Amino acid sequence: MKDSCEIYCYDEPKVRRVQDALHQENITGMVKMFKVLADETRMKIAFALCQEDELCVCDVANIIGSSLATASHHLRSLKQLGLAKYRKEGKLAFYSLEDDHVRQLLQLASTHSKELISHAAK
C-alpha cells in the first residue's frame, strides 16, 4: 500500500483557502518559537516555568544542572522570542513565562506527549 496519491488531482478552492491563510500567518515566527523549544534544555526550563510562576536564574541552573552562564543563555533565548520575560530584584534576575498562551502551548505538548506514550504502550 502506497502512502501517497496514485493520481495527481487537488481541490482548488481548498488549496486557495489554505494558501490565503498561510499568507496571513507569521509562519516564520512560529518556526522560530518551535526551534527554540526543540532544544531539550530550553524545553526543561520552559516546563519548569510552567510549574512555578517565576524562578531566578540560580533556581533554573540548579533545576537543569548547569552553570549560571548556561542557564542565563537559555533563558535569554526564550526571552528574545517572547516566550519568557524577566525582572530584576536587587542582584537577582527572575524569569517567568511571557503569558498564558505559552503556558497553554506547553501544557498541550505535555498532554499530547503523555497520550503518545500511552498509545504506544497498548
User: What's the pLDDT score for residue 72?
Assistant: 97
**pLDDT reported for residue 119:** 82
Quote the pLDDT of residue 120: 84
> For the chain (length 122 residues), average pLDDT per consecutive 10?
87 95 90 93 96 96 97 96 95 95 92 88 78
This prediction's pTM: 0.84
pLDDT confidence of residue 44: 96
pLDDT computed for residue 121 by the predictor: 80
Domain ranges, ordered by start, for the chain: 12-121
Nine-digit cell string for 41: 534544555
State the pLDDT at residue 74.
97
Q: Which residues contact 79 (CB under 8 A, 6 or more apart)?
A: 85, 86, 95
CB 83 within 8 Å of CB 95: no
* Fold for the domain defined by 12-121: Arc Repressor Mutant, subunit A (1.10.10)
